[in-house]
Amino acid sequence: MLNQQDQQTLASRGISETQLLEQIKRFETGFPYLRIADSARVGAGIVALEPYQEDEAIARWDKYLADGGSVSKFVPASGAASRMFKALFAFVDGNETAPAPGSDVDKLIKEIDHVPFYEELDEVMHRLHGMSINELISEGRYKDIIAGIIGADGLNYGNLPKGLLSFHAYNDGTVRTPVEEQLVEGAQSATDANGHVNLHFTVSGNHRHLFEAKLSKSIPEVEKKLGVKFDVSMSEQKPSTDTVAVNPDNTLFREDGNLVFRPGGHGSLIQNLNDMESTVVFIKNIDNVVPDSKRESTLRYKKVLAGYLIELHDVIAAYLDILATGNYDRAKLNEILAFVTYRLSISNSKTDGMSDSDLAVYLQTKLNRPLRVCGMVRNEGEPGGGPYLAYNPDGTVSPQVLESTQIDPDNSEYAAMVSKATHFNPVDLVCYIKDVDGKKFDLPKYVDPATGFISSKSLHGKTLRALELPGLWNGAMSDWTTVFVEVPISTFNPVKTVNDLLRPVHQGR
């Protein structure tokens, strides 16, 4: 099945033949739906902190930083912005000369002076057409304006990463990209005791130079303004995490006789996260940022989540010490079990019949692993994953972030659980990735390989099947200790389409 060229290709990517065969087998078998016990809700898998508890968590986070605790922000930023402009591409490629009334493009044209890149676009219109935006609108040349936003000879927004687009315009004439807003947010929530802010962006190789250019200009400006020192690093998805493409009949897909590999999705980034040196790591999507005047809620709950993480870890460390020394009786084991059951929402129907030694081993297993606290917002119709209580391979039930594709749509019992789900995953989490001795966990060991998915794609007109690895905050963290904390919807302000930039929360002026 594999020729010498194939073997050389695998070796150059760091992919073994065994891994390749496992990927092919997964195409043949598919991925199983997950067993779920229920959707998570406040009081059943989701913690709703009282104001005084939030204040205590913030104080604990401040103390962690003051005591020299290490922290980084990890921001996946490799995603292209093309999906933001789907409606714009359709309009430019279509036959209509004017946008349909009430359409996204129509609204964009009517409020074009409110987009943060208005001045940049106006300069492009003068360069390309010798006219201003308003003059082009008066002549009904809407396509020229829209093409100027997405086209390669204009702003080229249809081909740039989302992290480098103009998102927020300020009264002083400055305009910030998501990358720049992440710098500011990081400085305001995760500056260590030495005044350093550690940020890590995952980027695509073909855009890395653009990020480097933007950061080389922006970092000194933000450092001067906020009085901090940045340590910013970047990485790319590793070739060893790419997955092979197959034909519809699951035979190897080839182009010019060569195997074709595709990026394994954001789940591949567990390898990048595994390279982080900090003890605590914030993870947040690149586009969930707001201008300075709208950031108060975001900053408060960043610190709440981080402080609650440290509070939990304080308890976990104390209990692991007790279990390691053997200085416990059944009453102490039951106390630790209650913490695991009610604070960490991990249930196990078999613990009643366990001996003291078996129960101690079980508790050590559940406590001595990576820990994450995930913010969850009330579901207001946003698409995407959500918090559930799901069965694990060992028979326990614990909190998991699931995508809709992981839940059997034909299971009426599960459909009822989904229908009463109350919360949504905004991808706002903070992680503790070292053990109590300060040694890094080997994060790939905690991935559930049975939680990826298969999609249908095409390459140069030929249909192929693509394999995506377990998502970074889904199956890639399946065997972590996971705690859900309710946070307000004000902390969730993503930009999924260009029209989202017209929302009041993204207006910096």
Could you read off the pLDDT of 466-501 as tens digits, one per residue? 888 888 999 999 999 999 999 999 999 999 999 999
Q: Which domain holds residue 93?
A: 82-159
List, in sequence order, every residue forming a beta bridge with 80; answer none if it has no partner.
161
Helix (H) or strand (E) holding 371: strand 371-378
> Do residues 496 and 477 touch, judged by C-beta distance below 8 A?
no
Q: Are residues 472 and 329 in the same domain?
A: yes
Q: Are residues 370 and 283 in the same domain?
A: yes
DSSP 251: S
Q: What is the Cα–Cα distance from 208 to 206, expressed in whole angstroms?
A: 6
Q: Are residues 439 and 481 in the same domain?
A: yes
Q: Are residues 312 and 433 in the same domain?
A: yes
| 137-179 pLDDT, tens digit each | 999 999 999 999 999 999 999 999 999 999 999 999 999 999 9
Q: Are residues 319 and 271 in the same domain?
A: yes
Q: Are residues 357 and 453 in the same domain?
A: yes
pLDDT score of 297: 97
Q: Are residues 264 and 393 in the same domain?
A: yes
Q: What is the Cα–Cα distance from 319 to 396, expressed in whole angstroms?
A: 20
Within a domain: 250: yes
Within a domain: 230: no
Within a domain: 411: yes
A 10 A CB-CB count for 439 gives 8
Model pTM?
A: 0.93
pLDDT band at 226 (very low <50, low <70, confident <90, very high): very high
pLDDT score of 480: 98
Q: Are residues 295 and 340 in the same domain?
A: yes
Rg (CA), the chain: 25
pLDDT score of 263: 83
> Do residues 239 and 264 touch, judged by C-beta distance below 8 A?
no
Residue 237 has pLDDT above 90, yes or no: no
> Which of 124, 159, 194 is a domain's end point?
159
Q: Are residues 146 and 46 in the same domain?
A: no
User: Once rounded to an integer, what is the mean pLDDT over residues 431-457?
Assistant: 93
Within a domain: 187: no
Mean pLDDT of the chain: 94
> Which of 127, 159, 191 is a domain's end point?
159
Residue 384 has pLDDT above 70, yes or no: no
Within a domain: 256: yes
pLDDT band at 98 (very low <50, low <70, confident <90, very high): very high
pLDDT score of 455: 82
Q: Are residues 462 and 331 in the same domain?
A: yes
Residue 39 has pLDDT above 90, yes or no: yes
> Which of 109, 138, 159 is a domain's end point?
159
pLDDT score of 469: 86
> What b/e readout covers 39-57, taking b as 16+ CB neighbours within 10 angstroms?
bbbeeebbbebeeebbebb
Percent of the chain past pLDDT 70, that is, above it, reads 99
pLDDT score of 212: 97
Within a domain: 436: yes
Q: Are residues 416 and 294 in the same domain?
A: yes
Q: Total domain count for the chain?
A: 2
Q: Are residues 154 and 257 in the same domain?
A: no
pLDDT score of 468: 86
Instruction: Using alpha carbons, list the distances in angstroms from residue 111 to 76, 137, 154, 216, 500.
Output: 30, 12, 19, 32, 12
Residue 381 has pLDDT above 80, yes or no: no
